[in-house]
Amino acid sequence: MVGTDTSELNAARAALVEALVRTGDEDRDAFRTVYRLTSAKLFGICLRICADRQGAEDVLHDVYLTIWNRAGAYQPGRASPISWLATIARNRAIDWRRRQARTRAVGVEDAEAVPDGAPAQDDALLAVEAHARLHHCLEGIESRQRAAIRSAFFGGLTYAELAVQAAVPLGTMKSWVRRGLLALRGCLDGDA
Amino acid sequence: MATPDPDPDMTAAELALGVLDGDERAAALRRLVAEPGFAAEVEWWRDRLAALFADWPAVAAPAHLAARIEATLDRGAAGGAGGAANDNDHRWRTLAILASIAACVLLAVTTLLMLRPAPLPVRVPVTVTTPPPLIAAIAPTTKGAPIAAAYDRASGVVRIAGGVDVPAGRSAEVWAIRGTAAPRSLGLLPARGTARLAVPAALRGAMAAETVLAISIEPAGGSPTGLPTGPVVAAGKLSG
Q: Could you tell me if residue B82 is inside a domain?
A: no
> Are A76 and A144 in the same domain?
no
> Are A47 and A94 in the same domain?
yes
The ipTM is 0.81
- How far is residue B231's CA from residue A25's CA, in Å, rounded to a whole number? 28
Q: Could you tell me if residue A103 is inside a domain?
A: yes
Closest-CA distance of chain A to residue B237, Å: 26
Contact B101 A102 (CB under 8 A): yes
In chain A, the number of structural domains is: 2
Q: Between these two residues, A168 and B161, which has the higher pLDDT value?
A: A168
* pLDDT by position in tens, chain A (length 192): 444 556 776 787 888 888 988 998 889 999 999 999 999 999 999 999 998 999 999 999 999 998 988 876 665 665 578 888 898 899 899 989 888 876 655 444 444 445 554 444 445 555 667 788 899 999 999 999 999 999 999 988 999 999 999 999 999 999 999 999 999 999 998 754
CATH number at residue A53: 1.10.1740.10
Q: What is the pLDDT of residues B38-49, one digit of tens each?
A: 888 988 898 889
Domain extent at residue B151: 134-237
Last residue within a domain, chosen from A64, A86, A111: A111
> Are A20 and A82 in the same domain?
yes
- How far is residue B49's CA from residue B68's CA, in Å, rounded to a whole number? 31
Q: Could you tell me if residue A52 is inside a domain?
A: yes
**Chain A residues 162-191 within an 8 A CB cutoff of chain B:** 162, 174-175, 177-179, 181-182, 184-185, 188
> Are A157 and A100 in the same domain?
no
> Are A77 and A142 in the same domain?
no
Residue to test with chain A: of B10, B29, B32, B56, most A Cβ within 10 A: B56
Last residue within a domain, chosen from A76, A111, A146: A111
Q: Could you tell me if residue B214 is inside a domain?
A: yes
Closest-CA distance of chain A to residue B153, Å: 23
Domain extent at residue A138: 127-192
Q: Could you tell me if residue A122 is inside a domain?
A: no
Q: Could you tell me if residue A165 is inside a domain?
A: yes
Q: Which of B44, B35, B51 is nearest to A185 (CA)?
A: B44
Q: Which of A97, A67, A92, A72 is nearest to A82 (CA)?
A: A67
> Are A38 and A64 in the same domain?
yes
